[in-house]
Amino acid sequence: MDFLRDLLSFPFLQYALATGLLASIASGVVGSFITVRRIGYIAGAIAHTVLGGMGLARYLQRVLGWEFVTPLVGAVASALLSAIIIGVVTLYGREREDTVLSAVWSIGMAVGIFFISRTPGYNDDLMSYLFGNILMVRRGDLVLIAGLDALVVLVSFLFYYKLEAVCFDEEFARLRGVRVELYYILLLCLTALTIVILLLVVGIVMVIALLALPAAAAAYLTRRLWHTMIVASALSGLLMTAGLALSYKPNLPAGATIIILSGAVYLAVVGSRPLWPKRRAQAPRK
């Protein structure tokens, strides 16, 4: 109840809730694509490279005086860059995919830690992006988040059927003249932008859970991809609100609370599956 009362009086709490709800929309939509395409681990790699972009941006800001390069700008740039690198390498490269992802993942983080250590002044707030701090979101961040959110949802909406077909059967889509590689990289870029939105809420380390768990639970409950997206977004919104409310009074970490709740909901849905009278689940043979 303290949460509700304070929500009405404190802007920081309003920003936090708005961030959570906006993030839920992009997360539900893109998370559903990621879940059905089974590229959660790629999302994980993209998320971790973001620290590199943030660290470099802070370095450019402080040491070289490039004021406009805020850590969030650095996050957007590095997320998109790593999405494109991972996309191109996994599509055209002959390397082992997991090696490439591990390399991008850890080198991105290393670059971040390196630049943060070389930047004078107080930089611990950057390390807080590792675990997120939704209560630190400011008005300016909220504008950027709303913009990214609108962009992600609009692009997903415009290319929904293309992305659906590419996720369901890439080979067939290619034979039908769809430029599969382009849409795959587009999907990774949407993933990158969604990760930037989400990392303000739950931080780099826990982003994957928020992308994967509500969408995975929703996929069990629905029979069409866009239904999955709606349910996943609603579920995320509920989880964000509940996590924020539950963590507020006892002063728990909000991001971690949201993730633990998500995990519980996912387990409850998967665990109760055998009890449903639904569709005949059939594993692929061969």
- As given in the structure block, the two tokens for residue 31 are 């998370």
The CA distance from 258 to 55, in Å, is 26
Q: Is residue 118 involved in binding other proteins (CB under 8 A)? A: no
Q: Is residue 174 involved in binding other proteins (CB under 8 A)? A: yes
Closest by Cα among 10, 81, 21 to 236: 21
The CA distance from 203 to 48, in Å, is 10
Q: Measured from the CB atom, is 1 or 281 closer to other proteins? A: 281
Within 197-236, the residues that bind other proteins by CB under 8 A are: 219-220, 222-225, 227-228
Confirm if 134 and 19 have CB atoms less than 8 A apart: yes
Within 125-164, the residues that bind other proteins by CB under 8 A are: 158-162, 164
* Near other proteins by CB under 8 A: residue from 176, 263, 264, 276: 176
CB within 8 Å of 5: residues ≥ 6 apart: none
Within 43-102, the residues that bind other proteins by CB under 8 A are: none
- As given in the structure block, the two tokens for residue 39 are 């590229």
- As given in the structure block, the two tokens for residue 229 are 């997206």
Q: Is residue 281 involved in binding other proteins (CB under 8 A)? A: yes
Q: How many residues does the chain have?
A: 286
Q: Helices (H) and strands (E) in the chain — how many of each?
A: 13, 0
The DSSP secondary-structure symbol of 180 reads H
The CA distance from 198 to 219, in Å, is 20
The secondary element (H helix, E strand) that includes residue 11 is helix 11-37
Confirm if 105 and 157 have CB atoms less than 8 A apart: no
* Near other proteins by CB under 8 A: residue from 168, 249, 252, 263: 168
Q: Is residue 282 involved in binding other proteins (CB under 8 A)? A: yes
Shortest Å, Cβ 63 to other proteins: 43
Q: Measured from the CB atom, is 143 or 270 closer to other proteins? A: 270
Q: Which part of the chain contacts other proteins (CB under 8 A), choosing from 13-21, 46-54, 79-87, 166-174? A: 166-174
Q: Which part of the chain contacts other proteins (CB under 8 A), choosing from 17-25, 57-65, 127-135, 277-285? A: 277-285
Q: Measured from the CB atom, is 66 or 172 closer to other proteins? A: 172
Q: Measured from the CB atom, is 62 or 174 closer to other proteins? A: 174
Shortest Å, Cβ 269 to other proteins: 13
Shortest Å, Cβ 230 to other proteins: 11
Q: Report how far Cα 245 is from the mean position of its chain's Cα atoms.
A: 21
Q: Is residue 241 involved in binding other proteins (CB under 8 A)? A: no
Q: Is residue 173 involved in binding other proteins (CB under 8 A)? A: yes
Maximum distance among all Cα pairs of the chain, rounded to whole angstroms:
63
Q: Measured from the CB atom, is 6 or 181 closer to other proteins? A: 181
# residues near other proteins by CB under 8 A: 36
- Other CB atoms within 10 A of residue 165 CB: 17
Closest by Cα among 100, 108, 106 to 52: 108
- As given in the structure block, the two tokens for residue 261 are 């709740």
- Residues contributing to the site for other proteins (CB under 8 A): 36, 38, 158-162, 164-165, 167-169, 171-178, 219-220, 222-225, 227-228, 279-286
